[in-house]
A and B are shown apart, each in its own frame.
Chain A
Amino acid sequence: MTITAEITAKDVCYQYTNSSALALNNINLTIKPGEFVAIIGPNGSGKSTLAKLFNGIFLPTKGDIFVNGLNTKDKDKIWEIRQKAGMVFQNPDNQIVATIVEEDVAFGPENLGIPPKEIRQRIDEALRTVELTEFANKAPHLLSGGQKQRVAIAGILAMKPDCIILDEPTAMLDPVGRKEVISTVNKLNKQEGKTVVLITHFMQEAVCADRVLVMEKGRIVMEGKPREIFSQVEELKKHGLDVPQVTELAYLLSKENVPLPRDILTVDEMVDCLCQLL
């Protein structure tokens, strides 16, 4: 049987025990193998909660989540699910366990009971992918934020997952760190063929995704290709989100009847379009 869905959410609701409101309200979605899905939304929209349901850290209060066809409610399969769908968290400091980079990357495979020789291979491979080979023997607290997040990504890669879920991996980083992490994430999807779910509130980071989901108040309110989503500037602003400056500029100019496409995402695209006009 070929698996047609990496992750499926079916009528999923989630409610925190100390809250009366639903954090997630009837979510239905399917993420295909090899797909890169970005989930954006303001704080409190439920996007992080959803991510935590994807690998069984939280269980839905209603509905079901399937990872690779396995229900996250199935207690016997939970470790398999977590190995298949690895998770990178927001705070780079709070997810690194060991005092040496390579020991930390080894943590996952060690938990899976992989033989030492193979762990070694997996570490080397994972560190190469995130371009941190020369940092293998460094102490994590001496690394920059962007580097720490890449160590965390390597730690997940070493478990050989099919899918990587990143829960606001750039929220606490500076612009340089953000770029490092996003280019690594793109590489995971394009070169390593991993399914990627990226949670973020920076629109620019969703540009390379195959599909963007916009969440607000526990619901998916917009869905589509990045260009389709970003061209709806007013709709996005209504949901408390932001678009790249050039996208907003293109939107404002086209309102003045300047013949510009509305789905401009980068400075260079804008330069090309304007050059033909000016």
Chain B
Amino acid sequence: MSIVVKNLTHIYMPNTPFESVAIKDINWTINDGEFWGLIGHTGSGKSTLIQHLNGLLKPTSGEIIIDGKNIHSKEVSLKTIRQKVGLVFQYPEHQLFEETVEQDVAFGPRNMGLPDEEISKRVKEALELVGLPYEQIKDKSPFELSGGQMRRVAIAGVLAMKPQILVLDEPTAGLDPRGRDEILQEIVDLKEKQNLTVILVSHSMEDIAKIVDKLAVMYKGEMVSQGNPREIFKDYQGLVEKGLGIPQVTELMIKLKGKGKNVSTDILTVEEARAEILKTLRRKGLA
């Protein structure tokens, strides 16, 4: 399943003194099975953009095409679109409301009108996908869980709808390093196991560099670049000017190269940096 965003513009409160252009003329194609990172400063329009992908916001102009059809045309039901494109908001634990974990995760599938049997099957699967023990947790109140567990329950609530595309808005915000690494790993596993298309919004360049295949950069409402993260992170100055950064190790290699050292700057992770520096040292016979 693919999403094509075509000339998308969104203006908040048009024709009032409060009118503001949130995103401008966005063109973006997300193909089946891709793992995208979406970065941009606060207020760059990332949230506005992703809320168009499942029809929560309606474009002021332009269109969103999913599987060849404009999602706002009459023949397409937005309910189906929202099932196909699962959207996990920032701090998703704030949307929990049911008395038990099981009921909360079942909210989505129930809204889809699925039979009870199918619902319980999906709830169980979804909870296991996010690494929560179904039997132990299903009857607990979501509000007595730890922060990290609550977030997992909320993500399971979206997964239970069996989306083909999963959009996550800063899924690690507010978590400590261990919690962050666990959630990121789960997202990577999920993508593999469920063969999902994933779009990950994040402020952490280190996290993004570690896991995504493709990267899109937003700046002041426009999509200023998209493509391979290795290519995009080469533009260190440009990204810093846009209020963004690059992974520390990439910065390190670029700065070493700037000092005339013969190293590759095509480095995204600590492991890659380690290998590259060792290789360079060996070439010089130093290690």
Contact indicator A43/B176 (Cβ below 8 Å): yes
Contact indicator A43/B259 (Cβ below 8 Å): no
Mask: chain B, 137-172; 1 = CB below 8 Å from A; 0 = not? 000000000111000000000000000000000000
Contact of A249 among B173, B249, B286, B287 (CB under 8 A): B249
Contact indicator A278/B263 (Cβ below 8 Å): yes
Residues of B within 8 A of A277 (CB): 281, 286
How far is it, in angstroms, between the C-alpha of A175 and the C-alpha of B245 when the chains are bound? 9
Residues of A within 8 A of B270 (CB): 245, 248-249, 252
Q: Does any Cβ of A come within 8 Å of B42's Cβ?
A: yes
Q: Which of A240, A249, A268 has the most CB of B within 10 A?
A: A249
Contact of A245 among B146, B178, B247, B261 (CB under 8 A): B247
Kindly provide the distance from the CB of A158 to the nearest chain B CB, expressed in whole angstroms.
Answer: 27
Q: Which of A31-39, A50-58, A253-261 contacts B (4 or more CB under 8 A)?
A: A253-261
Contact of A171 among B43, B174, B280 (CB under 8 A): B174
Residues of A within 8 A of B259 (CB): 271, 275
Residue of B nearest to A42 (CB): B176
Kindly provide the distance from the CB of B281 to the nearest chain A CB, expressed in whole angstroms.
Answer: 6
Q: Does any Cβ of B come within 8 Å of A209's Cβ?
A: no
**A-B contact number at CB 8 A:** 95
Kindly provide the distance from the CB of A242 to the nearest chain B CB, expressed in whole angstroms.
Answer: 4
Contact indicator A278/B284 (Cβ below 8 Å): yes
Residues of A within 8 A of B42 (CB): 144-145, 174, 176-177
Residue of A nearest to B144 (CB): A18
Q: Which of B28-36, B60-68, B215-223, B271-279 contacts A (4 or more CB under 8 A)?
A: B271-279
Residue of A nearest to B206 (CB): A245
Q: Does any Cβ of A come within 8 Å of B41's Cβ?
A: yes
Contact indicator A275/B256 (Cβ below 8 Å): yes
How far is it, in angstroms, between the C-alpha of A271 and the C-alpha of B249 when the chains are bound? 10
How far is it, in angstroms, between the C-alpha of A44 and the C-alpha of B256 when the chains are bound? 40
Residue of A nearest to B286 (CB): A277
Residues of B within 8 A of A275 (CB): 256, 259, 261
Contact indicator B274/A271 (Cβ below 8 Å): no
Residues of B within 8 A of A244 (CB): 248
Contact indicator B146/A44 (Cβ below 8 Å): yes
Kindly provide the distance from the CB of A39 to the nearest chain B CB, expressed in whole angstroms.
Answer: 13
How far is it, in angstroms, between the C-alpha of A201 and the C-alpha of B286 when the chains are bound? 37
Residues of B within 8 A of A144 (CB): 42-43
How far is it, in angstroms, between the C-alpha of A248 and the C-alpha of B42 when the chains are bound? 29
For chain A, the count of residues having a C-beta within 8 Å of the partner chain is: 33
Mask: chain A, 222-246; 1 = CB below 8 Å from B; 0 = not? 0000000000000000001110111
Kindly provide the distance from the CB of A177 to the nearest chain B CB, expressed in whole angstroms.
Answer: 7
Q: Which of A177, A256, A257 has the most CB of B within 10 A?
A: A256
Contact indicator A249/B278 (Cβ below 8 Å): no
Contact indicator B248/A172 (Cβ below 8 Å): no
Kindly provide the distance from the CB of A231 to the nearest chain B CB, expressed in whole angstroms.
Answer: 16
Q: Does any Cβ of A come within 8 Å of B179's Cβ?
A: yes
Residues of A within 8 A of B263 (CB): 278
Residues of B within 8 A of A252 (CB): 270, 274
Residues of A within 8 A of B173 (CB): 172
Contact indicator A267/B278 (Cβ below 8 Å): no
Residues of A within 8 A of B274 (CB): 249, 252-253, 256
How far is it, in angstroms, between the C-alpha of A165 and the C-alpha of B173 when the chains are bound? 22
* Contact (A176, B41) CB under 8 Å given A249-B249, A252-B274, A275-B259: yes
Q: Does any Cβ of B come within 8 Å of A221's Cβ?
A: no
Residue of A nearest to B247 (CB): A245
Residues of B within 8 A of A70 (CB): none
Contact indicator B175/A43 (Cβ below 8 Å): yes
Residues of A within 8 A of B147 (CB): 43
Contact indicator B278/A256 (Cβ below 8 Å): yes
Residues of A within 8 A of B178 (CB): 42, 240-241
How far is it, in angstroms, between the C-alpha of A271 and the C-alpha of B248 when the chains are bound? 11
Q: Does any Cβ of B come within 8 Å of A112's Cβ?
A: no
Contact of A175 among B203, B248, B277 (CB under 8 A): B203
Q: Does any Cβ of B come within 8 Å of A114's Cβ?
A: no
Residues of B within 8 A of A171 (CB): 174
Residue of B nearest to A268 (CB): B255
Contact of B177 among A44, A241, A271 (CB under 8 A): A241
Kindly provide the distance from the CB of A96 to the nearest chain B CB, expressed in whole angstroms.
Answer: 18
Residue of A nearest to B244 (CB): A175
Contact of A43 among B179, B248, B262, B278 (CB under 8 A): B179
How far is it, in angstroms, between the C-alpha of A270 and the C-alpha of B281 when the chains are bound? 15
What would be 5 A-B contacts, judged by CB atoms less than 8 Å apart? A42-B178, A240-B176, A246-B249, A249-B252, A278-B256
Q: List 16 other contacts, CB 8 Å, given A175-B244, A253-B278.
A: A42-B177, A43-B146, A43-B175, A43-B176, A145-B42, A171-B174, A172-B174, A201-B177, A245-B252, A249-B249, A249-B270, A267-B255, A268-B255, A274-B261, A278-B261, A278-B284
Q: Sorted from nearest, which 6 A-B pairs have the closest CB atoms?
A: A242-B177, A245-B248, A240-B178, A42-B176, A201-B176, A43-B176
Binding site for B on A (CB under 8 A): 42-44, 144-145, 171-172, 174-177, 201, 240-242, 244-246, 248-249, 252-253, 256-258, 267-268, 270-271, 274-275, 277-278
